[in-house]
Amino acid sequence: MTELKTLPIDCSHREVFDALRSDGGVIVENLLDPSIVDEIVNDFAPAFAANTPGSKSDEEVWQTFHGATTKRFCGLAGKSRAWVDHVLLNPLLLAVADEFLLPSASDYWLNTGQVMAVGPGEPAQHLHRDENNWPEAMRPEAELTISAMFALSDFEMENGATVVVPGSQALDPTVIRGTEVSADEVAYAEMPAGSAMIYTGKVVHGAGHNATSAWRYGMHTSFVVGWLRPEEASPLAIDRETAASLPERARELLGWGSYASEGGGRTWLVDFEDAGRLFD
């Protein structure tokens, strides 16, 4: 077993960038203040209570991937203003997205925001790369997506802390799903609540086995280059009235804004104009 680098909250952006280029993932401790964690957890409590474990898909591959005893839900911007202000607009997370996504895009938007609560006894998720969502666009020289897994409860090896294969971001951009690796190649994102593992779309990872009798609460937030379709259809989950109450940058990240390619055209328009004009 190996280890992921852990950085303090007062680390420089450059330290985070360097760790991501070296290992594909890095833990930043206490990225969220305990009071913010409590607020987000309270905001999500009704959704957690209303959700049942297991996948909503009829396909066996997704049933296995989602986990039979894991609860998942999205649409986080409509459930928690604290998530918008402190996660979606988190300065460090946006700085990482700027650094890794803007070299190949003029902007990016939310890929998905998800709560992933891994239930007692849940087997380890098969290892994968997040960029596998867009196999047609994968290329070695560019990142498509940047993610962060926030711990809403303490992440430990025993309760299903995320498994990561440091350095695997340098592998060829072929579809890697269900990859077998040796025990000495993997690291576990063990971290206290409020901390986050930031990682690239190329690094091989997956939820660990929860061998305890307690739930492990995690929260995933990721961005994708603006010229790709995201995993989550945020504008269908966040209505115009809710979007109007949010900061302009939050609206853009949630799909209530258009995309302009450098040297190309404009997309995601409303009557030939930028979608942001809906809020003028």
Strand 145-151 to 216-225 pairing: antiparallel
In the numeric block, the tokens 């961005």 are attached to 223
- Beta-carbon contacts of 59 under 8 Å, excluding residues fewer than 6 positions away, are none
- Tens digit of pLDDT for each residue in 135-156? 999 999 999 999 999 999 999 9
Residue 10 carries which side chain, given as an amino acid letter?
Answer: D
Summarised one tens digit per residue, pLDDT across range 115-126 is 999 999 999 888
φ/ψ (deg, to 5) at 22: -80, -45
Q: What is the residue-level pLDDT of the chain in tens, covering all 280 positions? A: 899 999 999 999 999 999 999 999 999 999 999 999 999 999 999 999 999 887 777 787 666 667 678 999 999 999 999 999 999 999 999 999 999 999 999 999 999 999 999 999 999 888 999 999 999 999 999 999 999 999 999 999 999 999 999 999 988 877 566 567 777 889 999 999 999 999 999 999 999 999 999 999 999 999 999 999 999 999 999 999 999 999 999 999 999 999 999 888 999 999 999 999 999 9
Kindly list the distances between the CA atom of residue 139 and the CA atoms of 98, 142, 169, in Å, as whole numbers in the listed order: 18, 6, 11
Domain locations along the chain? 6-279
* CA neighbours closer than 13 Å in the CB half-sphere of residue 167: 7
CATH number of the domain at 6-279, please? 2.60.120.620
Q: What angle do CA 197, 199, 201 make, to 5 degrees?
A: 150
Q: Of 196, 15, 220, whose CA–CA distance to 130 is shortest?
A: 220
Query: Where do the H-state alpha helices sit in the chain?
Result: 13-23, 34-50, 60-66, 81-83, 91-101, 234-237, 240-244, 248-253
